[in-house]
A = this chain, B = another copy of it.
């Protein structure tokens, strides 16, 4: 990877400091030109790209997180989009706006957090853009990954089973606690502040031919299952009794229905949701859980039709009473 000498100016001083801090990760040969020029340049048969914007007051609050956590969380959420294609991270680019009245230290600390999230997945900081804003902090992370056979969300077939990694609702439990003026439980705070993109897990599942369709759960399982159903042209029926509700969601919820709501519609889980051929996961499930110490739970089934339904504990199947978070709800436009 070629590095470019940066010009004068404090913005470049900041970037230099951050690059030095992030220098512990050996970049991939797929990176032809690293940070410092007008563009980074990578190569690959499949270069996966996604962008994810986090806005203070919408996606996070500065009262809730340290600056490093703001950066880490934004980058981890974006890197989760690579996991959602079973792609391997190469690098990130970070565009950051910090308030005019804040010291440059805030920008440096956010960038360091973003760099740490990337370094944890052996990805490097490929570039970025730092600016001032009269408004809230905005962190926009571009992820760049490598994929030979990307796993899309449109491959779910009737007869498939629907699976999720991990447990759902912990990040939503943290937000619930904060908005009620309480400190979240440590496990919930950790899930919100420092989510773990399931990159290794997705690669392993792809290598074991367990994936017909794949996405990551960012808006809540209810909404994201709906995206898979729409893309695949199928109906998905979720089983209420099998949803792996995180204990912190149950602890903070007003009752079982509310806990289910946090798990299905709370968002920010960054777990994987995938459709697998019948029997494909059962064969490898124990090895997966031994390898990653992450749960793997069958949460539903794929059928002909459209939309997402919920089978309740009595066996009755009904439309979902809620979907994932929508920034532009109907009637708004």
Contacts and interface: CB of A to CB of B under 8 A. Distances in A.
B231 A7 contact: yes
Interface stretch (A129-137, A157-165, A174-182): A129-137
A230 B5 contact: yes
A227 to B, nearest CB: 4
Total identical chains: 2
Given A154-B4, A332-B103, A9 B323 contact: yes
Nearest to A137: B135
B132 A55 contact: yes
A105 B230 contact: no
B133 A38 contact: no
A36 B150 CA distance: 13
A87 interface: yes
Contacts of A128: 51
B81 A333 contact: no
Interface in A201-217: 215-216
Interface of A: 2, 4-11, 13-14, 32-33, 36-53, 55-59, 81-82, 84-85, 87, 93-97, 103-105, 107-108, 126-136, 138, 140, 142-145, 147, 150, 152-154, 215-216, 223, 226-227, 229-231, 233, 323-324, 326-333
